[in-house]
Chains A and B, each alone.
Chain A
Amino acid sequence: MSALTHAHSNPHHEHPDVVGSRNRLGLVLILVADIAFALSVLFVYFYLKGQNVNDMWLPAATDDQVATTPVSSTGAWYLTVLVGVGLLTHTYALKGARVKNQTQLVLGSGIALVASVLAMVYQVMQMSAAPFTITWGAYASCYFLITGLNTVHLALTVFIALGNWNRSRLGLYRADHWHVTIVRVWWTWMFVSSALGAFALSFP
């Protein structure tokens, strides 16, 4: 067994590409867990819809309360588009980082931040505008599960987009920009996950 005698005297100075690819793998693995979670949510939705136990997927009207009417999925698709805008502007920012265009980087990540905030606000508005509460049958419960998951995802996105914008603004990505690359992986998953939610809600 031979040994290296130089070059690694300070382990904290690894090449940015090495660190970047390692971090990207870490995020992808965490996303595996998140994807499993989101797919389980879809499973819950379609399983309960398929079972329709006691005809209570969408309960009919009773003496106490009106029938549960499904929410149109248009709102969920609008939300997906909004997240898509975030993804595109973030990609624009990443392109800026690649060509060392600081203005494009800050502008792109700034708009992405705004998109994430708007998306979250829009999602919360949709939840509060629903014509039923979580207790009104299986569809209602699932509706709040899907929108709730989106809200949590978007809150995390706001946090990440805020950091990304702030760090761009401070010029921390001048030397290397693997953070921006990784944040785009997250944005892509946000786009897919909101599309999945909208897809499910299209089949009430």
Chain B
Amino acid sequence: MTTMMERPAAAPGSAAPKKALIERLNLFTALGLGVASAVVVWYLAKTFLPQNTEESVIKTREDQVVLLAMIAWFIGFMIGIGAFIGPFRWVLGRDLSHDENMFYAGKDQGIKRYFRYTTDHKVVGIQYLVVTIIIFFVGGVLAMLIRTNLGYAEGGWLHPQAYNAIVGIHGIVMIVGTIVMITGPFGNFIMPIMIGARDMAFPRLNALSFWLVVAAIPPMLSAFWLGGITTGWSAYNPLASQAPPGMDGYIMFICIFAISTMVAGANITTTAVRMRAKGMTWNRTPIFIYGVVASVALALPAFPVFFLSQIMSALDRSLSSTFYDVRGGGSGWLYENLFWLMGHPEVYVILIPAVAALMEMAPVFTRRPLFSFNLAIMGIAGISGLSVLVWAHHMYVAGWAPLLNGPFMLTTELISIPTGMLFLVLIGTLWRGRLWMTMPTASIYALLWNFMIGGITGIYLSDVPIDAFLHGSMFVTAHFHYTLMGAGLTGALASLVYWFPKMTGRMFDKTLSWVSFCLVQIGFNVTFIGMFLVGLAGQPRRVEAYAEVFSRGNLITTMGAYTIMAGMLVLLHGVISSWRSGAKAPMNPWFAKTLEWTVPNPVPLENFEVLPVVTSDAYGYGKAKS
């Protein structure tokens, strides 16, 4: 605590050193301080913590050391990046001056601002974009390892422990990647411009939410060296209490990430509610804004539950409390309930903004108004509301409350009604439009196809007797990849191509976008149709080897996965080459009507010279018949 007090306290002595402290902090001081604190605390803990008693079954001390070191890393990193300067300056009553705020916004700092606690929402958006790409790259490599291992029936070349670790890390990396993939880059960069604001409601919280994600990643990746996350991403207890210290990395990661989503959720929601331009009434607000707000607002009550479940997991591991240990009166069902209380809203956190982004693009590429704006809002609201009432459909066969299976089947199947509304909005907008074929346009069709398969297989799974057969099988894996990847990621990739011109000032290479789109979509469907096949035939999830009968399906899946990989590499090449040397983008390459296309490239620091006044919604395409 004292070091934290000293830093801001030392600063405000005179004008010159005051700026100096802010200027001195950046990603590298953060890394330095974070690593140094972690090493020091690790050494101290290793030296001074009491030895394990003989009867302690779980390796308590090791977990204490690892957790303390990770907490030290976290605090050190956040001090080093300058996250605590604002709060301490508030306590000291020396609020940041206008010049300091402009410095924080990254004024005149060029490339350096991307490595600092920069509050400009456009910088944060780009930072999120790069980090999301890195996250997907890591998750994708792990996915390829999994599929390569499963290429032959008994030919698994990975040790089961390594395999389980890879499955767990792939799961959580991809979940986090898909959670931030739209609200991170596009929610931050595009959303404030779209509503005609100069920045987010709380710019410093915006920077905080991003740097928390950065601080969270090293603990999780350290799991590679700490025995891995061998429990799958769901980290069920009591299996998690057996897992190696890699599990502590997972716990720490979830805790930090939960704070990040909370901060981002409050910030983005407040921005959308309070900062819209004059005249932008709720029925003139673009549908993408609704999608983003529903997503982050849904995360607000959902993630704290997950946060708590992991804190209790950490206490069980490090202090031998007995929340999940049945020998001490704990319950594994408690964990499952808490986990899925977050886990189910979370899939809609991923899905809703992706669908909303495509709804935003649909009128642009069909040159007609969005079909039934109200139905779209009802759909989003209905899904958000119901999603917190369906968690126990993940626990139909857990046996925790057989009498509740009926009610949860009801709520789960009710979700198909608002989901159907989203389908109607999209297909209705395509209907009788003047189709402008681009990669985002094709993505709308891909989403309809993939999400239809994901949705109908979801109806099978929502039915308790069918779930008793399919639960825990590859069928489930294929189903949720169809929704999260087939629908979610498709929307995110379309958003990337659509908003790339505004974010980078350059057009995304057209040919590369089409090549990657085709490879990814074909590969995706091959992969997961094959996985449906082995799932129906009875292959469980998360297995490192399988019976001979599943060989054909798995081979199909692996071949499809390599096709996806090829497509993703093409996309990555497209991002890099277009960003570096793509054609310069005009201000409004898609001739769209939302506000983000009314600002020049590159977008100036405070977006708008004069704040716009909105007089109609953004979907005024089409010619009225006389």
Contacts and interface: CB of A to CB of B under 8 A. Distances in A.
User: Taking the complex as a whole, does A directly touch B, i.e. does some CB pair lie under 8 Å apart?
Assistant: yes
Interface of A: 1-5, 8, 11-12, 18, 21-23, 25-27, 29-30, 32-37, 40-41, 43-44, 47-48, 51-57, 59, 134-142, 144-145, 159, 162-163, 166-167, 169-170, 172
Contacts of A159: 87, 91
B270 A37 contact: no
A135 B55 CA distance: 13
Interface in B272-294: 273-275, 278
16 contacts: A2-B615, A4-B613, A11-B198, A25-B270, A29-B297, A36-B300, A37-B305, A40-B304, A51-B333, A54-B329, A138-B328, A141-B312, A141-B323, A145-B315, A163-B90, A166-B91
Given A1-B615, A22-B270, A163 B323 contact: no
Nearest to B388: A36
A1 B334 CA distance: 55
A141 B328 contact: yes
Contacts of B326: 53-54, 56
Given A32-B301, A36-B300, A40-B304, A26 B202 contact: yes
B218 interface: no
Nearest to B89: A163
Contacts of B334: 44, 47-48, 51
User: Which of A23, A40, A169 is packed against the most chain B CB atoms within 10 Å?
Assistant: A40
A5 B87 CA distance: 35
Given A4-B611, A32-B301, A172-B93, 9 more contacts: A1-B612, A22-B270, A25-B273, A26-B267, A29-B269, A36-B301, A141-B322, A166-B91, A167-B93
Nearest to B338: A40
B307 interface: yes
B265 A29 contact: yes
Interface string B81-104: 000000100111101001001000
B176 interface: no
A8 B610 CA distance: 7
B162 interface: no
B606 interface: yes
Contacts of B198: 11
Contact of B101 (A1, A12, A163): A12
Nearest to A164: B91
Interface string B103-121: 0000000000000000000
If over half of B's interface residues share one DSSP class (helix, strand or loop), that class is named, otherwise mixed; here it is helix
Which of the four size classes fits the interface of chain B?
35 or more
A137 B322 contact: yes
Given A33-B304, A166-B92, A134 B327 contact: no
A171 B11 CA distance: 21
B311 to A, nearest CB: 8
B617 to A, nearest CB: 12
Interface string B334-346: 1001100100000
By Cβ-Cβ distance, the 7 closest A-B pairs, closest first, are A56-B329, A138-B329, A163-B91, A37-B304, A29-B266, A141-B321, A36-B301
A71 B606 CA distance: 57
Interface string B604-626: 00100011111100000000000
B327 A56 contact: yes
B330 A48 contact: yes
Contacts of B98: 12
A44 B270 CA distance: 31
A138 B330 CA distance: 6
B303 interface: yes
Given A4-B611, A167-B93, A29 B201 contact: no
A3 B613 contact: yes
A78 to B, nearest CB: 25
Contact of A145 (B92, B270, B312, B341): B312
A12 B324 CA distance: 50
B308 interface: yes
B329 A57 contact: yes
Given A4-B278, A54-B327, A26 B266 contact: yes
Contacts of B267: 26
B240 interface: no
B320 interface: yes
A53 B201 contact: no
